[in-house]
Amino acid sequence: MPESDTKLADIDFQSGMSAFEAKHFTKALQLLGPIAEQGHAVAQHRLAIMYQNGLGLVRNDMQAYKWMKTAAQQGYALAQHGLGFMYLHGDCTEKNPAEAAKWFLLAAEQGLTGSQMILATLYETGTGVVRDEAEARRWHERAEKAE
């Protein structure tokens, strides 16, 4: 991509993020959609949130799941956390606690405190993983150190 195109994409991304934060979701979708299509994980994650919650468009579970998983597969921790929630609660996809634990683990390993706390709870309760008090304690301690 030529440098001028890269600068325009950066400007569109920043403008799209600003529109999202200002709750101008239709504008955010217009700006972030093409960037997400080009493989930008943060833009994909924001699209997933908009589709999941019907922000600026009609709620669409398939699109929410598609964009969340695409961003998560690129290693974006917030999307991994979001995908974990989708699987844990059966939101936008089939409920699958084991799959949820897998995605929470990936995000937790990147230092996402919320994922570390959830993972600890999953180990305490044996939800999606084999119940393991020592592993639960380890994740609780890691989360507390991060705070």
pLDDT tens, residue by residue, 37-70: 999 999 999 999 999 999 999 999 999 999 999 9
Phi, psi of 33 (to 5 degrees): -55, -55
Among 79, 75, 73, 77, CA closest to 47: 79
Same domain assignment for residues 92 and 118? yes
- Domain range for 13 is 1-74
pLDDT at 10: 85
CA distance 67 to 132: 32
pLDDT at 7: 67
pLDDT tens, residue by residue, 69-93: 999 999 999 999 999 999 999 999 9
Which one is predicted more confidently, 4 or 63? 63
Q: Which of 43, 74, 105 is the last residue of a domain?
A: 74
